[in-house]
Amino acid sequence: MKAAVYTRYGPPDVLQVTDVEKPVPKDGEVLIRVRAASVNPLDWRLMSGRPFVVRIFFGLRPRVTPGRDVAGRVEAVGRNATQFKPGDEVFGTCVGAIAEYVCAAELGLVNKPAGVTFEQAASVPVAAYTALQGLRDKGRIQAGQRVLINGAAGGVGMFAVQIAKSFGADVTGVCSTRNVEMVRSIGADRVIDYTREDFTKNEQHYDLMFDCIGNHSPSACRRVLNPNGICVMAGGPKQLRSILTHALKALVLSWFVSQKFVMFIARRSQKDLTMMNGLMTAGKVTPVIDKCYRLSEAAEALRHAETGHARGKVVIAVET
Ligand SMILES: NC(=O)c1ccc[n+]([C@@H]2O[C@H](COP(=O)([O-])OP(=O)(O)OC[C@H]3O[C@@H](n4cnc5c(N)ncnc54)[C@H](OP(=O)(O)O)[C@@H]3O)[C@@H](O)[C@H]2O)c1
């Protein structure tokens, strides 16, 4: 079978589509014939091998197939895997989705609703977990609250806008000029074009800020938060050192002010995927896909995602 593999760290050029052995499902796993996979910042960040500590975990001579988000058809089930059977259409998380076949723990999968395409389903898992768990669990979102989403046009942000609306919030999205209409079309009540206006300098205040970008200091973000407001920091700058500095500043600031700053890492949850199924089926969430690439174009897909200006999700459709 074919898979996208890198055997050295570097830019997306190091990714090659090559022949590898078809995997065999272990206990509690299923083998999926991949129909679509989507790209997350983690994929190109790990592939870059920076910071150097990444190489300690993945080895100095990596042999890695990227891709955490998958949608496809179950081809075989391993021992003790009881939730799915061959032929089921599923989506969820795994390791090495940018391939013709991948094995995934069934606990990270759910059935794909009939009205959702494989490409749409593959765009959901990591980005939607991040948006849902950030808004609901860390931000304690409530109906009627004023919520600001910084980075509203990206993979996580476009889910955050739609999920926040489904909770009944009043949503303001921040993006560049070319994405203003798209962010409005997915439900944002107001859109701030960051090329024309700095949201930290206007008079609006928010109960909850969901930050996918981390380009404003915590003290600047605090200025636009209500006294009991919460800033959920989902994403940050490209360099690890800048992320750590940003987190440290937020931690120190939160000792002295009434507002809260929360950083978190999204976790796999079958329950949350089921909730996303419900939102998609009810028409409350529709994934925005920037571009669909073929498996042979995997390097190009990661190159596009790495620009940090994808509109929604970047997807790789695997030919059957
Ligand atoms: N905490 C977690 O567990 C977790 C999980 C997944 C992802 N993340 C992190 O969350 C962040 C977002 O992920 P993602 O998948 O959404 O990334 P993404 O799809 O690559 O984000 C791209 C989007 O960012 C927007 N953007 C770029 N600069 C901006 C700015 N100055 N102001 C506002 N928007 C800006 C772009 O909009 P324009 O083109 O309009 O500029 C583009 O639509 C990343 O840092 C990622 O590492 C965290």
Residue 48's pLDDT band (boundaries 50, 70, 90)? very high
Instruction: Say how far apart CA 90 and CA 290 lie, in whole Å.
Output: 22
CA neighbor of 161 nearest in space, from 66, 316, 285, 33: 285
How confident is the model over 127-149, as pLDDT tens digits? 999 999 999 999 999 999 999 99
Q: What span, in angstroms and rounded, lies between the C-alpha atoms of 197 and 64? A: 41
CA distances from 262 to 193, 208, 209, 235, 249 (A): 25, 11, 10, 11, 12
Run of H or E residues at 127: helix 125-132
For residue 90, the one-letter residue type is V
Which residue is associated with the tokens 């969901």? 210
Other residues' Cβ atoms within 10 Å of the Cβ of residue 167: 18
Report the distance separating Cα 308 and Cα 41, nearest Å: 8
Can you give the pLDDT at residue 284?
A: 98
Please identify, by atom number, the ligand 1 atom nearest to the C-alpha of residue 175: 40
Task: Show the beta-strand stretches assigned E in 39-140.
Answer: 69-77, 89-93, 101-105, 109-111
Q: Tell if the pTM clears 0.85, that is, is over it.
A: yes
Q: Which atom of ligand 1 is nearest to the CA of 264?
A: 1
pLDDT grade for 241, boundaries at 50, 70 and 90: confident
DSSP 176: -
Distance, in Å, from the CA atom of 11 to the CA atom of 300, rounded to the nearest integer, reads 11
Structure tokens at 240: 């690890």
Beta bridge partner(s), residue 17 = 4
Q: Residue 240 has what pLDDT?
A: 78
Q: How far is the CA of 41 from the centre of ligand 1 (A)?
A: 8
Per-residue model confidence (pLDDT) at position 243: 86
The preferred substitution site among 156, 194, 196, 231 for testing ligand 1, maximizing ligand atoms within 8 Å of CB, is 156
Of the pLDDT bands very low, low, confident and very high (cuts 50, 70, 90), residue 253 is: very high
Whole-number pLDDT of residue 46:
93
Query: Domain boundaries in the chain?
Result: 2-124+287-317, 127-263
Q: Is the minimum distance from the CB of 229 to ligand 1 under 6 angstroms?
A: no
Is 229's pLDDT higher than 80?
yes
Q: Does domain 2-124+287-317 have CATH number 3.40.50.720?
A: no
E strand residue ranges, 20-125: 29-38, 69-77, 89-93, 101-105, 109-111
Sign of the alpha-carbon dihedral angle for 37, 41, 43, 47: positive
Q: How far is 101 from 227, CA to CA, in rounded Å?
A: 50
Q: What pLDDT is attached to residue 53?
A: 82
Q: 3-class SS at 296?
A: helix
Is the pLDDT reported for residue 291 higher than 80? yes
> What's the pLDDT score for residue 125?
98
The atom number, within ligand 1, closest to the CA of 215 reads 31
In CATH, 127-263 is 3.40.50.720: yes
User: What pLDDT score was predicted for residue 52?
Assistant: 83
Q: How far is ligand 1, taken at its centre, from the CA of residue 66, in Å? A: 19
Q: What pLDDT sits at residue 71?
A: 98
Please work out whether the CB of residue 235 comes within 6 Å of at least one atom of ligand 1.
yes
Q: Is the pLDDT of residue 244 over 90?
A: no
Give the per-residue pLDDT at 201.
Answer: 96
pLDDT band at 271 (very low <50, low <70, confident <90, very high): very high
Give the mean pLDDT of 101-118. Answer: 97
On the question of pLDDT at 88 being above 90, the answer is: yes
Q: Is the backbone peptide bond immediately before 12 cis, with ω within 30 degrees of 0?
A: no
Picking from 62, 86, 63, the residue whose alpha carbon sits closest to that of residue 73 is 86
pLDDT greater than 80 at residue 238? no
Which residue among 213, 238, 246, 265 has the greatest number of ligand 1 atoms within 8 angstroms of its CB, and so is best to mutate?
213
Mean pLDDT within 80-108: 98
Predicted confidence at residue 242, as pLDDT, reads: 86
What is the CA(266)–ligand 1 centre distance, in A?
Answer: 15
Q: Is the CB of 179 under 6 A from ligand 1?
A: yes
Query: What six digits make up the tokens of 55?
Result: 């190489």
